[in-house]
């Protein structure tokens, strides 16, 4: 069951996403009540206007080459019933990108610059309660050169209208912790903020009821509190829960607390909070969940959902996390900003650990118009609000106050800002440690900045782990950002060489190319194994994301002009999966390291016409003990994982020598002949896994497969359809780039297409897409009417096909 976590349960609470009007430009007077908006576009939120495109070099490839800056206006007309008069009416935005100004009936109610933070305003006094028209107007003004990646643009998260009695639970008003957790019992502590917006003092009863994951009430307690007029008071209580069902990675059990505020028998408010019973602990030797040492096998994720842009779709985020869990992860770093509520709810439900990160920048700028402009006024408020919103999530295990903050180099003041932010963490939630990602060495250690947070995140310095440990033995450390290896799905450049960039604007998938600060995943595996006190790693990145097309378009973080030099390269190559969510080879390298279920993977493809007789390096990623390669049925020999190593060129900034003998990859050099390569994996001497790749014939047909045959008819659920170009025998044509046309009928719409090509300017919203390395993606969204969605795919010279999704 999906709970409306953290929201009041009053019947009057409304999702406020439907029927907004949108205009994408300046509009004088658009804040006033009687402004003529009759020609504006009607749409439902969440909405990201920039993903609609078109791609253009003038928008800056670094932020995705999409029109994310300018002015966007949203207006919504609504009536309030008379019975709402005298109540408290609040509007809550879970996130609006960027620099939101809000008016109700022409009167300014407030503003909030940071696009990643949720906020609400009490708008009671500005409303009319006679059934006549009220209008809320929102102006967003995202600026150019304001982000190092694609931030999206628009009201891209949900909006709520909340109508409450003057006495009610505050926004993010409950704080539930579990100070004692044993097998026999848990102490559940609850501090609930109750607001009294009336002019009289009130004495109310606050009842807390606790329900276990099966919905059985397991404890309850009541307490009376006195709240002075126009103020807030805290109802603090605790209960004992016997034999708690712990929240853990494999058993993400979730409890619910229902808070009821009563005036005698009259219910003033009911508020539901979800939480988990678990313990976390850190020391210099590791991180412990429920007293068990757990290594972070983690990924950094940006917030966009590929071709859907940044508009929140719960299913898009769920799929993202499922794909990452298939790779073997147990942790997410929300680089470099507060994530959506949905991401955290899903991590709670799916058993993923979260490093919740607030900022990419403080006062010293990384880009011209970044958040640094707002940091002085808003920094502490935004950090506090992130923690207030998020602190009941059992998945969250650390608060990050920043990533690669420029103040690291500042010997005077950086540490004082870090101290201030750490204090905010400690006063808002002392149960979790603070952290930050440091990419400089040794400056932030020598200038007392690293020492301000509880746990030191190290970006891209695996070779320094042991030095940090011996120089700063009291700092618990982990790899907050690692590897930054780049690749394009299905693309292989031969012979293998270590280049900076390639004229195709793609990157070979032999998994050894990256910017100067990067290194192949293997190097991190090695240094983590050598230094077991390092708490694990968060790779850069799990998914490809929009923007930051490194190694193309420049590599200097502060020279914006240079970012367009390799247009149309416009999105990242860092992902272990591409922008569609299709695994690259690197996905399997991580899977071989992070999972136990026997797996085996083989690369490259086997279509090298014209290269007959020449040696092709064949790599195998597996967690089996041994693997044997067969070419057209003939054995090329058996190799032992860990013993037979693969020499990688590791010509990176901070790595000596320039090669690395990787025990994590098996490889063979094989003279090319058309046919098949097949690898068999052995565990304890038994063949347990195999993988075959055949030389494909000419493209003959399209194949479609859908991630779920049935979705809900709620107007937001999604079906992801994988498109493959195959030869007549069903082999993937690995170089095919055929154009595929889509036609959708029935109870849903085609809302986005993609193919994972980071250098394509084709629209994400077109009803067609070229294949890239033989594949493409179509994303279908259900309507609110149940029925069937039929997607037909056609292409010149290809046998067409269709797929049906049922919506219920």
Cβ atoms of 560 and 367 closer than 8 Å: yes
Spatial neighbors of 733 by CB under 8 A, at least 6 apart, are: 607, 696, 697, 698, 699, 725, 726, 727, 774
Q: What is the DSSP string of 636-668?
A: EEEEETTTS-EEEE---TT-SSSEEEETT-EEE
**CB-wise, 154 or 457, nearer to ligand GAL?**
457
- Least distance in Å: CB of 340 to ligand GAL? 19
Query: Is residue 742 part of the contact set for ligand GAL (CB under 6 A)?
Result: no
Kindly tell me the burial class for residue 743, based on how many C-beta atoms sit within 10 Å of its own C-beta (0-12, 13-18, 19 or more): middle
- Least distance in Å: CB of 519 to ligand GAL? 11
**CB-wise, 120 or 651, nearer to ligand GAL?**
651
- Least distance in Å: CB of 285 to ligand GAL? 26
Coil, strand or helix: which one is 124? Answer: helix
- Least distance in Å: CB of 326 to ligand GAL? 24
* Selection from 332, 329, 323 nearest residue 301 by Cα: 332
Which residues are bridge partners to 482 per DSSP?
539
Return d(Cα 756, Cα 776) in angstroms, integer. Answer: 7
Query: How many Cβ atoms are within 10 Å of 105's Cβ, its own excluded?
Result: 18
Query: Is residue 439 part of the contact set for ligand GAL (CB under 6 A)?
Result: yes
Which residues are bridge partners to 257 per DSSP?
210, 273
Q: Which of 31, 94, 404, 726 is catalytic?
A: 404
Question: What part of residues 575-594 is at the interface with ligand GAL (CB under 6 A)?
Answer: none
**CB-wise, 363 or 708, nearer to ligand GAL?**
363
Question: What part of residues 45-64 is at the interface with ligand GAL (CB under 6 A)?
Answer: none
Residue of the chain from 37, 404, 566, 578 that contacts ligand GAL (CB under 6 A): 404
Cβ atoms of 541 and 299 closer than 8 Å: yes
Query: Is residue 334 part of the contact set for ligand GAL (CB under 6 A)?
Result: no
**CB-wise, 280 or 577, nearer to ligand GAL?**
577
- Least distance in Å: CB of 146 to ligand GAL? 15
Q: Is the peptide bond before 383 cis (omega within 30 degrees of 0)?
A: no
Query: Is residue 435 part of the contact set for ligand GAL (CB under 6 A)?
Result: no
Which residues are bridge partners to 601 per DSSP?
621
- Give catalytic status of residue 404 as yes or no: yes
- Least distance in Å: CB of 436 to ligand GAL? 11
Token code pair at residue 793: 């795919």
- Does an H or E element contain 367, and which? none
**CB-wise, 538 or 772, nearer to ligand GAL?**
538
- Least distance in Å: CB of 337 to ligand GAL? 11
Q: Which of 165, 345, 407, 481 is catalytic?
A: 481
Query: Is residue 408 part of the contact set for ligand GAL (CB under 6 A)?
Result: no
What value does the CA radius of gyration of the chain take, rounded to a whole number of Å? 27
**CB-wise, 289 or 405, nearer to ligand GAL?**
405
Query: Is residue 410 part of the contact set for ligand GAL (CB under 6 A)?
Result: no
- Least distance in Å: CB of 404 to ligand GAL? 5
- Give catalytic status of residue 481 as yes or no: yes
State how far the alpha carbon of 536 is from the alpha carbons of 517, 520, 525, 533, 766, in Å.
19, 16, 9, 9, 41
**CB-wise, 385 or 404, nearer to ligand GAL?**
404
Query: Is residue 147 part of the contact set for ligand GAL (CB under 6 A)?
Result: no
- Least distance in Å: CB of 574 to ligand GAL? 6
Return d(Cα 749, Cα 661) in angstroms, integer. Answer: 50
**CB-wise, 31 or 404, nearer to ligand GAL?**
404
Query: Is residue 481 part of the contact set for ligand GAL (CB under 6 A)?
Result: yes
Cβ atoms of 577 and 544 closer than 8 Å: yes
**CB-wise, 277 or 361, nearer to ligand GAL?**
361
**CB-wise, 5 or 296, nearer to ligand GAL?**
296
- Least distance in Å: CB of 307 to ligand GAL? 21
**CB-wise, 611 or 653, nearer to ligand GAL?**
653
* Selection from 149, 188, 140 nearest residue 575 by Cα: 149
**CB-wise, 484 or 695, nearer to ligand GAL?**
484
Number of amino acids touching ligand GAL (CB under 6 A) = 10
**Considering Cα of 562, then 568, then 570, then 574, what sign does the dihedral take?**
negative
Return d(Cα 700, Cα 727) in angstroms, integer. Answer: 5
**Considering Cα of 501, then 591, then 518, then 544, what sign does the dihedral take?**
positive
* Selection from 407, 466, 411 nearest residue 439 by Cα: 407
Query: Is residue 695 part of the contact set for ligand GAL (CB under 6 A)?
Result: no
Query: Is residue 403 part of the contact set for ligand GAL (CB under 6 A)?
Result: yes
Residue of the chain from 172, 445, 540, 619 that contacts ligand GAL (CB under 6 A): 540
Question: What part of residues 441-470 is at the interface with ligand GAL (CB under 6 A)?
Answer: 459
Return d(Cα 695, Cα 212) in angstroms, integer. Answer: 55
Place of tokens 């990256």: 514
| DSSP collapsed to 3 states, 495-541 | CCCCCCCCCCCCCCCCCCECCCCCCCHHHHHHHHHHCCCCCEEEEEC
Token code pair at residue 41: 């576009």
**CB-wise, 406 or 424, nearer to ligand GAL?**
406
Query: Is residue 501 part of the contact set for ligand GAL (CB under 6 A)?
Result: no
- Does an H or E element contain 590, and which? helix 585-594
Q: What is the DSSP string of 160-207?
A: EEEEE-SEEEEEEEEEEEEEEE-SSEEEEEEEEEEEE-SSS-EEEEEE
Closest residue by beta carbon to ligand GAL = 484
Residue of the chain from 70, 213, 515, 516 that contacts ligand GAL (CB under 6 A): 515
Give the x/- contact pattern for ligand GAL in 543-582, rule: CB under 6 A: -----x-x--------------------------------
- Least distance in Å: CB of 564 to ligand GAL? 17
- Does an H or E element contain 421, and which? helix 414-428
- Least distance in Å: CB of 750 to ligand GAL? 32
* Selection from 440, 445, 457, 461 nearest residue 655 by Cα: 461
- Does an H or E element contain 17, and which? none
Characterize the bridge pairing of strands 296-300 and 434-438: unpaired
- Least distance in Å: CB of 507 to ligand GAL? 13
Question: In degrees, to the nearest 5, what angle opens at C-alpha 97 toward C-alphas 545 and 430?
Answer: 85
Interface positions with ligand GAL (CB under 6 A): 403-404, 439, 459, 481, 484, 515, 540, 548, 550
> Which residues are designated catalytic?
404, 481
């Amino acid at each position: 069951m999906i709970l409306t976590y953290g929201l009041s349960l009053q019947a009057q609470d409304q999702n406020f996403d439907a029927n907004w009007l949108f205009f994408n430009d300046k509009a004088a007077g658009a804040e006033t009540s009687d402004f003529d908006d009759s020609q504006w576009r009607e749409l439902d939120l969440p909405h990201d206007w920039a993903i609609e495109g078109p791609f253009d070099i003038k928008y800056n490839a670094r932020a995705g080459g999409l029109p994310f800056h300018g002015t966007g206006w949203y207006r919504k007309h609504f009536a309030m019933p008379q019975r709402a008069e005298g109540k408290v009416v609040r509007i809550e935005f879970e996130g609006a990108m960027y620099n939101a100004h809000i008016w109700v009936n022409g009167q300014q109610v407030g503003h909030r610059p940071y696009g990643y933070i949720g906020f609400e305003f009490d708008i009671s006094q500005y409303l009319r309660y006679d059934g006549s028209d009220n209008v809320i107007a929102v102006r967003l003004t995202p600026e150019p050169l304001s982000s190092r990646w694609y931030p999206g643009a628009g009201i891209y998260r949900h909006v709520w209208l909340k109508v409450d009695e003057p006495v009610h639970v505050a926004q993010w008003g409950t704080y539930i912790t579990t100070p004692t957790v044993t097998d026999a019992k848990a102490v559940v502590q609850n501090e609930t903020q109750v607001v009294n917006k009336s002019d009289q003092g009130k004495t109310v009863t606050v009842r807390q009821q606790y329900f276990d994951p099966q919905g059985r009430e397991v404890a309850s307690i009541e307490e009376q509190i006195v709240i002075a007029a126009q103020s807030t008071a805290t109802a603090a209580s605790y209960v004992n829960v016997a034999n708690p069902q712990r929240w853990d990675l494999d058993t993400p059990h979730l409890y619910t607390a229902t808070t009821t505020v009563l005036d005698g028998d009259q219910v003033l408010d009911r508020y539901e909070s979800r939480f988990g019973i678990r313990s976390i602990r850190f020391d210099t030797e590791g991180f412990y969940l429920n007293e068990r040492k757990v290594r972070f096998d983690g990924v950094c994720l940006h917030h966009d959902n590929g071709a859907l842009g940044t508009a929140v779709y719960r299913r898009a985020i769920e799929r993202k996390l499922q794909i990452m869990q298939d790779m073997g992860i147990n942790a997410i770093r929300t680089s470099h900003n507060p994530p959506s509520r949905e991401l955290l709810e899903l991590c709670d439900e799916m058993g993923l650990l979260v490093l919740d990160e607030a900022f990419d920048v403080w006062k010293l700028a990384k880009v011209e118009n970044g958040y640094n402009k707002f940091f002085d006024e808003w920094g502490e408020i935004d950090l506090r609000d992130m923690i207030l919103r998020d602190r009941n999530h059992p998945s969250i295990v650390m608060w990050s106050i920043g990533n690669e903050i420029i103040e690291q180099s500042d010997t005077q003041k950086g540490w004082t800002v870090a101290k201030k932010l750490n204090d905010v963490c400690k006063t808002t939630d002392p149960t979790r440690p603070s952290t930050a990602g440091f990419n400089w060495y040794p400056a932030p250690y020598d200038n007392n900045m690293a020492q301000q947070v509880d746990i030191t995140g190290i970006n891209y310095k695996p070779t320094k782990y042991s030095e940090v440990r011996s120089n700063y033995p009291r700092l618990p450390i982990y790899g907050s950002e690692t590897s930054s290896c780049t690749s394009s799905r299905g693309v292989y450049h031969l012979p293998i060489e270590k280049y900076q960039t390639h004229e195709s604007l793609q990157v070979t998938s032999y998994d050894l190319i990256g910017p100067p600060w990067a290194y192949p995943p293997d190097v991190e595996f090695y240094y983590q194994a050598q230094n077991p006190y390092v708490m694990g790693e968060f790779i850069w990145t799990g998914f490809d994301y929009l923007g930051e097309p490194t190694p193309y378009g420049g590599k200097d973080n502060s020279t914006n002009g240079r970012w367009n030099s390799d247009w149309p390269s416009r999105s990242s190559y860092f992902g272990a999966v591409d922008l569609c969510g299709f695994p690259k080879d690197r996905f399997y390298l991580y899977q071989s390291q992070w999972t136990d279920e026997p797996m085996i993977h083989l690369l490259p493809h086997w279509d090298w016409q014209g290269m007959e007789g020449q040696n092709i390096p064949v790599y195998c990623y597996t967690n089996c003990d041994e693997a044997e390669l067969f070419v057209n049925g003939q054995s090329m020999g058996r190799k032992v994982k860990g013993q037979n190593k693969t020499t990688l060129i590791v010509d990176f900034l901070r790595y000596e020598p320039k090669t690395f003998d990787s025990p994590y990859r098996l490889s063979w050099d094989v003279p090319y002949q058309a046919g098949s390569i097949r690898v068999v994996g052995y565990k304890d001497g038994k063949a347990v896994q195999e993988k075959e790749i055949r030389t494909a014939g000419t493209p003959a047909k399209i194949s479609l497969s859908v991630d779920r045959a049935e979705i809900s008819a709620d107007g937001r659920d999604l079906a992801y359809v994988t498109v493959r170009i195959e030869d007549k025998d069903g082999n993937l044509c690995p170089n095919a780039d055929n154009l595929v046309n889509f036609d959708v009928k029935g109870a849903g719409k085609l809302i986005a297409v993609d193919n994972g090509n980071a250098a394509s300017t084709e629209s994400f919203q077109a009803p067609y897409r070229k294949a890239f390395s033989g594949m493409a993606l179509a994303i279908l969204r259900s309507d609110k009417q149940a029925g069937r969605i039929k997607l037909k795919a056609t292409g010149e010279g290809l046998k067409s096909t269709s797929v049906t999704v049922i919506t219920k």
